[in-house]
Amino acid sequence: MSTEIALFEPIPLPDPRRPATLPSLPAWAARLNGAVRLELQMTPDGKTFEKADVLVLPPDLMPTERQILAMRSHQANLRSYLLDTPAHSVTAETRVATAVSKLLTVLAGERKSDLVEEARSEVYLDVLDDVPCWAVESAVRRWFKHDCGADERGKPYAYQWAPDPGTLRNIAQEDARALGARIGQIQRILDAREFVDCSMQIENGRKAMIGLNETIKSKGLSAASALTFADAIAIAEGSSKKAEAAE
């Protein structure tokens, strides 16, 4: 246990000034993330298979209690960044208003009346109400740097003008999605079950299906409906032995 404590590396949080620039996961978390995979598994009672493949981890890589707590804490911290929106915080509302003001002041275009300019600012704030303030600030910086890529049609943006509210929202959400992706990445690890090798059950299921089909062909549905799982497997194995002997 002392070795584990000495070697344990916490998951670093991003710089609050640039939350979308996420530090790399520590080695243990990266190892778990790379090991998660989808596999066909038995239901917990062991009587049948799950209806869909489930996330699993090798038994020797199941996260420890300390690792689980670290991952959940990291998710909670990232979610707090995503909730730093005008809808949840007056400070965030002020930061968004300031960022939009800079954008509209520098790229004002033709000056409209004060009433029109006020209405324009209000529309931006309404559209960005649920977007993290730091993501809006990042989007504005990227717009000034001509570094926002292309629009949904693949065309370059017209950086000489301020983006419309919806465009600014889309650009800002690109940064927010980076945090959402990290949260989902960690959730996959937390959702993973310990892998149980059920290759024998899968093979028996395959044999049972062969035995069932052979019975249907030779004796009909009524005989097939009376078969037990073990009977169907035995029929398939018997057929296989006969085929091998014939060779």
pLDDT in tens, 18-30: 898 999 999 999 9
In whole angstroms, what is the distance from residue 84 CA to residue 98 CA? 15
| Inter-CA distances, 60 with 31, 56, 57, Å | 12, 12, 8
In whole angstroms, what is the distance from residue 49 CA to residue 33 CA? 25
Longest CA pairwise span in the chain (Å):
95
Long-range CB pairs of 137-141, under 8 A, 24+ apart, other chains included: 137/95, 137/96, 137/99, 138/18, 138/20, 138/172, 138/175, 139/168, 139/171, 139/172, 139/174, 139/175, 140/99, 140/100, 140/102, 140/103, 140/168
Q: What is the model's pLDDT at position 222? A: 80
Q: What is the model's pLDDT at position 2? A: 42
Please name the residue that has the structure tokens 């209690």: 65
Closest to 174 in 3D by CA, of 25, 21, 24: 21
Residues of the chain with pLDDT under 70: 1-7, 108-117, 243-247
In whole angstroms, what is the distance from residue 41 CA to residue 30 CA? 24
Measured in degrees and rounded to the nearest 5, phi and psi for residue 57 equal: -130, 150
Closest to 89 in 3D by CA, of 126, 121, 133, 119: 133
Q: What is the model's pLDDT at position 1? A: 43
Which strand (E) or helix (H) includes residue 122? helix 114-127
Q: What is the model's pLDDT at position 5? A: 46
